[in-house]
Amino acid sequence: MSQGQHNTDPHFPQFPALAPSAPPAGPPDGPETAIAPPGGPGQQLPDRQAWGGEPRQRLHPLSPALHGAKSLFVVIAGLSWSTLSRVGFGWFAAMVTVLALGATVLAVVSWYNTGYHVVGRELRVYEGLLWRRTRAIPLERLQAVEVVRPLLAQLTGLAELRLEVVGGGKTEAPLAYLGVAEAAALRQRLLALAGPGTAPGPQPATTATAGPGIGHAASPVPPGRALHDVANRDLLVSQLLTPQALLLPLGVAFVVAQFLSEDSWSFIAVASTLTAMAGVLLQPVRRVLDDWNFRLARDEGTLRIRNGLLETRAQTVPLNRVQTVGVTWPLLWRAKGWLRLRLEVAGYAAGEPDDRNRPDRLLPVGDAHTGERIVTEVLPGVRLSGLATSLPPTRARWLRPLGRRAVGAGLDERVFAARSGLVTRQLTVVPYARIQSVRVTQGPAQRRLRLATVHADTAGGAGAAALDRDLAEAWWLAAELTARAHAARHPG
């Protein structure tokens, strides 16, 4: 997993007296008592200090029921259509019930043994019955907080809190589930504790993304200022303008033709085919469901993203945690002049198996003007249309006969911008302050042509690459990126 975890908790069984049936504690009171100054006595006896200050809290008592209901879907999907046809409906229902009940019992046991509390600048999460685990999550490493509300949780008024921490292979500490008010309060508190990273915008810039002389630094930002709402109609149209949606009629025609010719309308065949079709359409449909009611707001130094129809997500990203911003112009959207914006945060590791759990959308669909406005908001002082990129030298056409004019790179005042993609045009914007390392690579063909590629690596995402630059320019670019990254990190 990650750093900051340890398995030493001999006192674990002494769960503080908190009746299991007690309602979830509201906004935790008196955090000051728990926040021991670093190096103070609290450091030596963190547990006792914590117990004296703030009791360990349990998740919401309804969570096991929700987990059980969730496992019901998993069980049904796992048994699949073919099992249903083989064993008949009665047995199928019995199997599902047994498995789901078993899962619910396990969820109750795990709920009983799970607790969390805030100690100083750490969130501690305790879990496990046989293998006890205490995770101490240092809040200064907090990259983003997300409140996720799946459909069932919305019906029951619950929410899941997810924390993204640097170095975590996956989302750290999903606290599932908390009451909505409790989740919001805890999020607020964690972000406040996360330190200068989430300090109000007008504060002197701790990072170079917000250097001196920016308009925002001068004017205080009203809390929760709405930046942009995506119209659901645009979202629908944008997802209809995808290859999957456009090819759907062909697929339907094919299936219908096959059924007509073979004359076999069995339930299983229909169900399986529908499942397969749903699989193809999954991505656009998911995008519509996930990005429904997409609302972007800015609250002091953080970005608030809310989206989702069945499962609502409220994501909070401190602006200085944004590692890169990606702009995509899909081919089919060009007639509309639309683009999509992505942002990369360090916490969302590539190890996340489900792409959906990397909520990196900054703007699911929007026109050039909206895109420009949002980019300026996220990366102060950066104008999307003002990012000049230059083409690689003419001899690069031997490597990219068609795409030479689609790639490019440029150094802006605060950001490094790299363009790529002939069909789906992409632009990656990396603030100099976020560059982790610079690499120059040169393949055999590039060596013959005296070309080289310069990569700017970032903590989240793939970073940006200036493809096929002239060798001398590549060296200059590497030196310049290194120097500018250094200057951006050490202002003054």
Binding residues for other proteins, per CB under 8 A?
141, 143, 166-167, 321, 323, 346, 350, 388-391, 405, 408-412, 419, 434, 436-444, 447, 452, 455, 457-459, 462-463, 466, 469, 471-473, 475-480, 482-483, 485-486, 489
Q: Which residue do the tokens 């547990």 mark?
A: 47
Whole-number minimum distance, CB 475 to other proteins, in Å?
A: 4
Q: At its nearest, how many Å lie between other proteins and the CB of residue 439?
A: 5
C-beta of 56 vs 321, nearer to other proteins = 321
d(Cα 65, Cα 86) in Å, to the nearest integer? 30
Closest CA to 172 of 199, 133, 198: 133
Taking the least distance from each CB to other proteins, the nearer of 235 and 417 is 417
What's the CA gap between 98 and 117, in Å, rounded? 34
Q: Cα separation of 102 and 72, whole Å?
A: 10
Would you state the structure tokens that stand for residue 227, as one six-digit string? 């930046």
Question: Which amino acid makes up residue 65?
Answer: A
**Dihedral of CA 24/30/33/38: which sign?**
positive
Q: By C-beta, is 48 or 383 nearer to other proteins? A: 383
Nearer to other proteins, 289 or 471 (CB): 471
Distance separating alpha carbons of residues 429 and 109, to the nearest angstrom: 47
Comparing CB distances to other proteins, the nearer of 272 and 442 is 442
Nearer to other proteins by C-beta: 116 or 416? Answer: 416
Could you give the CA distance from residue 168 to residue 164 in angstroms, rounded to a whole number? 7
Instruction: Give the shortest CB-386-to-other proteins separation in angstroms.
Output: 12
- Phi/psi at 24 (nearest 5 deg)? -60, 135
Closest CB 427 distance from other proteins, rounded Å:
11
Per the CB < 8 A criterion, the answer to whether 333 and 238 are in contact is yes
What token pair was written down for 81? 């259509």
Give the amino acid at 75.
Answer: V
**Residue 349 beta carbon to other proteins: minimum distance, rounded to whole angstroms:** 8
Pick the closer one to other proteins by CB: 177 or 329. Answer: 329
Shortest spacing between CB 361 and other proteins, in angstroms = 21
Question: Between 383 and 447, whose beta carbon lies closer to other proteins?
Answer: 447
Give min distance, CB of 435 to other proteins, in A: 8
Cα–Cα nearest to 41, from 56, 30, 53, 31 = 53
Task: State the minimum distance, in angstroms, from the CB of residue 472 to other proteins.
Answer: 4
Please, which residue, 279 or 444, has the CB nearer to other proteins? 444
Q: Round to whole Å and give the CA distance between 373 and 364.
A: 14
As a whole number of angstroms, the distance between CA 409 and CA 96 comes to 56
Closest separation in Å from C-beta 393 to other proteins = 10
List residues bridging with 431 in a β-sheet. Answer: 415
Q: Which of 409, 367, 414 is nearest to 388 (CA)?
A: 409
* Structural contact between residues 223 and 300, judged by C-beta atoms closer than 8 angstroms: yes
SS3 57: strand
